[in-house]
């Protein structure tokens, strides 16, 4: 049991944070979504996405990296690159997009993806794509969203040995890590705001009505952070489902409270709060949402119960 | 929970072989020593007459196995085991419904507080008895006018020669009915700085204990009245005015000392087993709610482990323990609510005694030993660095 990174992991995570800090001054644009070519170039050169397969770093450090990079207001594809592609389809170019439900569903990162992964009950396919295969769609979510122009025209290649359940577990850990990063950054932004903003002659953060809800948010977000890191370390389907379910479960309450305390400033496109909360809102619906992850967790924890909707049918 | 692909010392969440062996040993002792009617014995909680008396039989057996105070130094009967070992022990015992009864307090914080602040005579008087599993203590903190605002306490300790005369009353005092000793807070003057701690023999003339009928177990909470109770100066713990740092130390040991989530998790497992036996667990709604309660338990477990990890590194206590308490309370309620939703019949009769005991613990979880709202205050001030609200 060791909740602190070792020297190798610390050096790696310091480098990740340094890279993110190098982009902190990127001027914000008044759009729901903001990406950055400079950030993508830095990530491409960093080698960070190989961390999972490096003995000295491993899946826990890779998951911590997802959390750290999700804290940026700038949006970049993380989960598949960090936690799935390194073992599923190494060498394929990022960014990745992952199709879970239907080939024609609006999907995040499709407009920028160079590799497409498709997961079905027990089958995983990959394909090379480019922007010409995709119609970007406007979306409330702070991700680049798009649909395939012609799903039947995609040149799918089946990965014969791929374990679809392992892809799903990795996705669950990743979505929990990304949500923990987004909500953690959003919480920090709101804390800074309520310490500065004064009403009725004192900072908003001096009101107990505000303090208690932010303290509850802090406990919830910290719980998801450790559930995600724990699940990365254990590689257990149960732990992955618990982490994802809890992340999705708390997302609505935490996002609601944070927007309440940011007030009208949080309704603007100028303040980055929406970039974190609107990513989390989409993450909260992945793989059927919290109720489905909790059901999967229950079936894994108490397996005699696994007589209804088995994994992979959603 | 093993992660064989990670080298030692990197961030990981597995157990060492020694820790696994300890857990197995504790489980074996529990399986061997708990009687068939243990669920009925533990029905009324750690403070009940049955469970307290059981603890006086069980704890000496734990002591004989080296499992009562392994974290204490050798001179007091332990072997200086690392904090994780003491915690694994607590997890397993709480998961079983806490057969140590009220004696969990001795090993979680009273003993270590006496070791740090007590005189050699006090240590000689109290520690061997605790290490033998024969000591029952109660905690004289709350008063009618001093609950969350503990510093408002009024019980007086007036110095007369080399004695103190104590007058006042305590309330909500757990375990007082059968306790031999009280870890008592009393005022030696005005203000927060004039409070002292006394180690009081509960048989001293002038002490009256009245049980309070309650929702949380028979014999759990009491009123305790002190009328001209004479306590030797030698039984004052620390100096006059030193109570606050001592209490701070004791509470830092206590805050995550009780592995309540392990009890909740154990009860949740048994609830699910019962639903499965009844053929009622094939429903996706029931499964989903069980998974939700499980996630609350595991989230609390990891936040508590985080605190133990810091303790094991020798770091000073911080507000992460309050964060963990908030999560533990949520987990208790998630499991209790699951039971109310899907096993309502077990709240009547004796179908599932441990379930009733858990429910009664859960409804007190956010009130006893520092209300949930006090934990949130401390998270806000000390963890989030929010400004303190002007007090009335």
**Does one domain contain both B144 and B217?**
yes
Q: Is residue B360 part of a domain?
A: yes
Domain that holds residue B369: 255-383
Please report the pLDDT score of residue B248 as a whole number: 87
The domain boundary, picked from B90, B115, B135, lies at B135
Host H or E run for residue B138: strand B137-140
The whole-number average pLDDT for the span A88-94 is: 96
Q: Mutate one of A11, A65, A207, A211 to test the B interface: name it (highest B CB count within 10 A).
A: A211
CA distance B277 to A307: 14
Structure letter (DSSP) for residue B74:
G
What is the residue extent of each domain of chain A?
164-305
**Does one domain contain both B148 and B177?**
yes
**Does one domain contain both B105 and B179?**
no
The domain boundary, picked from B87, B111, B135, lies at B135
Tokens standing for residue A269: 């496109």
Q: Is residue B34 part of a domain?
A: yes
**Does one domain contain both B122 and B181?**
no
Interchain CB distance below 8 Å, A208 and B299: no
The pTM score is 0.94
Rounded to a whole number, what is the distance in Å from the CA of B163 to chain A's nearest CA?
Answer: 43
Host H or E run for residue B341: helix B320-342
Q: Closest-CA residue in chain B for A237?
A: B1
Q: Mutate one of A172, A192, A222, A241 to test the B interface: name it (highest B CB count within 10 A).
A: A222
CB neighbour burial string for B64-84, b if at least 16 within 10 angstroms, e if fewer: eeebbbbbbeeebbbeebbbb
Interchain CB distance below 8 Å, B283 and A229: no
**Does one domain contain both B266 and B214?**
no
Tokens standing for residue A130: 């480019």
- Residues of B whose CB is below 8 A from A309: 284
A5 part of contact set with chain B, CB < 8 Å:
yes
Q: Is residue B392 part of a domain?
A: no
The domain boundary, picked from B179, B214, B241, lies at B241
Terminal CA-CA length for chain B: 49
Interchain CB distance below 8 Å, B9 and A219: no
A180 part of contact set with chain B, CB < 8 Å:
no
pLDDT at A66 exceeding the cut of 60: yes
Tokens standing for residue A142: 């702070």
**Does one domain contain both B120 and B148?**
no
Q: Is residue B5 part of a domain?
A: no
- Residues of A whose CB is below 8 A from B284: 295, 308-309
Q: Closest-CA residue in chain A for B14?
A: A1
pLDDT tens per residue, range B288-315: 999 999 999 999 999 999 999 999 998 9
Interchain CB distance below 8 Å, A3 and B323: no
Which of A2, A5, A194 has its CB closest to that of B309? A2
Q: Mutate one of A6, A60, A223, A238 to test the B interface: name it (highest B CB count within 10 A).
A: A223
Lowest-confidence segment of A39-43, A71-75, A272-276, B143-147 by average pLDDT: B143-147
Domain A164-305, what architecture? Up-down Bundle (1.20)
Rounded to a whole number, what is the distance in Å from the CA of B132 to chain A's nearest CA?
Answer: 30
**Does one domain contain both B97 and B214?**
no
pLDDT tens per residue, range A109-133: 999 999 999 999 889 999 999 999 9
A60 part of contact set with chain B, CB < 8 Å:
yes
pLDDT tens per residue, range B242-268: 999 999 888 877 766 788 999 999 999
Picking from B198, B171, B320, the residue whose alpha carbon sits closest to that of residue B255 is: B320
Looking up tokens 């008592």 gives: B184
**Does one domain contain both B282 and B370?**
yes
Which of B282, B287, B302 has its CB closest to that of A223? B302
**Does one domain contain both B153 and B125?**
no
**Does one domain contain both B232 and B154?**
yes
CB neighbour burial string for B127-161, b if at least 16 within 10 angstroms, e if fewer: beebbebbbbbbbbbbbeebbeebeebebebeeee
Please report the pLDDT score of residue A123 as a whole number: 95
- Between the alpha carbon of residue A9 and those of residues A65, A173, B11, B312, the distances in Å are 10, 18, 8, 20
A214 part of contact set with chain B, CB < 8 Å:
yes
Helices A273-283 & A237-262 angle (0-180, nearest 10): 140
Q: What is the ipTM of this complex?
A: 0.94
Interchain CB distance below 8 Å, B306 and A234: no
Stretches in chain B below the pLDDT threshold 50: 1-8, 392
CA distance B14 to A236: 12
Give me the number of domains chain B comprises.
3
Interchain CB distance below 8 Å, A212 and B383: no
């Amino acid at each position: 049991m060791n909740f602190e990174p070792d020297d190798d992991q610390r050096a790696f995570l310091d480098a990740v944070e340094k890279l993110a800090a190098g982009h902190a001054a990127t001027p914000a644009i008044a759009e729901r979504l903001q990406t950055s070519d400079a950030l993508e170039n830095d990530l491409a050169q960093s080698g960070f996405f190989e961390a999972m397969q490096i003995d000295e770093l491993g899946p826990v450090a890779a998951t911590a990296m997802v959390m750290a990079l999700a804290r940026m207001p700038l949006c970049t594809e993380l989960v598949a690159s960090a936690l799935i592609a390194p073992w599923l389809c190494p060498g394929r170019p990022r960014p990745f997009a992952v199709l879970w439900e239907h080939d024609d569903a609006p999907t995040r990162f499709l407009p920028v993806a160079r590799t497409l992964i498709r997961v079905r009950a027990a089958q995983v396919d990959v394909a090379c794509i480019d922007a010409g295969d995709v119609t970007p769609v406007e979306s409330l979510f702070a991700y680049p969203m798009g649909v395939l122009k012609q799903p039947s025209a995609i040149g799918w290649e089946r990965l014969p040995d791929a374990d679809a359940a392992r892809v799903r577990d990795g996705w669950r850990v990743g979505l929990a890590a990304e949500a923990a990063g987004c909500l953690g950054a959003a919480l920090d932004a709101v804390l800074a705001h309520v310490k500065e903003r004064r009403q009725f002659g004192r900072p908003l953060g001096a009101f107990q009505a505000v303090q208690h809800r932010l303290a509850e948010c802090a406990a919830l977000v910290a719980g998801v952070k450790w559930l995600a890191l724990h699940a990365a370390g254990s590689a257990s389907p149960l732990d992955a489902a618990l982490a994802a379910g809890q992340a999705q479960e708390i997302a609505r309450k935490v996002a609601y409270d944070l927007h309440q305390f940011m007030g009208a400033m949080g309704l603007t496109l100028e303040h980055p709060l929406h970039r974190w909360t609107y990513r989390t809102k989409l993450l909260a619906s992945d793989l059927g949402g919290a109720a489905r992850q909790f059901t999967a967790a229950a079936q894994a924890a108490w397996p005699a119960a696994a007589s209804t909707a088995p994994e992979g049918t959603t | 929970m093993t992660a064989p692909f990670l080298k030692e010392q990197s961030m990981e969440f597995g157990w060492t072989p020694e820790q696994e062996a300890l857990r197995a040993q504790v489980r074996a002792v529990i399986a061997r020593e708990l009687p068939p009617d243990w669920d009925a014995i533990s029905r009324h909680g750690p403070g009940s007459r049955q469970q307290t008396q059981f603890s006086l039989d069980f704890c000496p057996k734990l002591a004989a196995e080296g499992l009562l105070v392994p974290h204490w130094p050798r001179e007091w009967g332990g072997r200086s085991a690392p904090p994780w070992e003491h915690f694994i022990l607590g997890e397993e015992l709480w998961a079983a419904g806490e057969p140590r009864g009220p004696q969990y307090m001795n090993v979680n914080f009273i003993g270590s507080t006496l070791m740090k602040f007590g005189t050699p005579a006090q240590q000689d008087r109290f520690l061997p008895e605790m290490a033998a599993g024969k000591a029952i203590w109660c905690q004289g903190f709350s008063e009618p006018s001093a609950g969350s605002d503990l510093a408002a306490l009024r019980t007086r300790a007036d110095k007369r020669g080399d004695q103190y005369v104590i007058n006042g009353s305590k309330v909500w005092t757990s375990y007082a009915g059968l306790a031999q000793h009280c870890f008592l807070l009393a005022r030696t003057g005005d203000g927060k700085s004039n409070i002292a701690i006394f180690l009081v023999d509960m048989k001293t003339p002038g002490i009256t204990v009245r049980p309070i009928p309650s929702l949380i177990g028979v014999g759990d909470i009491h009123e305790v009245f002190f009328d001209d109770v004479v306590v030797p100066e030698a039984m004052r713990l620390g100096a006059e005015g030193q109570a606050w740092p001592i209490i701070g130390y004791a509470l830092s040991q206590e805050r995550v000392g009780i592995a309540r989530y392990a009890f909740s998790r154990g009860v949740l497992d048994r609830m699910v087993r019962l639903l499965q036996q009844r053929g009622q667990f094939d429903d996706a709604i029931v499964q989903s709610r069980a998974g939700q309660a499980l996630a609350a338990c595991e989230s609390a477990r990891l936040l508590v482990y985080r605190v133990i990890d810091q303790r094991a590194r020798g770091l000073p206590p911080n507000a992460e323990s309050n964060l963990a308490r908030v999560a533990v309370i949520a987990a208790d309620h998630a499991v209790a609510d699951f039971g109310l939703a899907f096993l309502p019949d077990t709240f009547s009769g004796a179908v599932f005694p441990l379930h009733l005991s858990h429910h009664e613990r859960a409804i007190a979880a956010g009130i006893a030993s520092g209300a949930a709202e006090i934990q949130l205050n401390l998270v806000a001030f000390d963890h989030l660095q929010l400004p303190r609200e002007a007090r009335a």
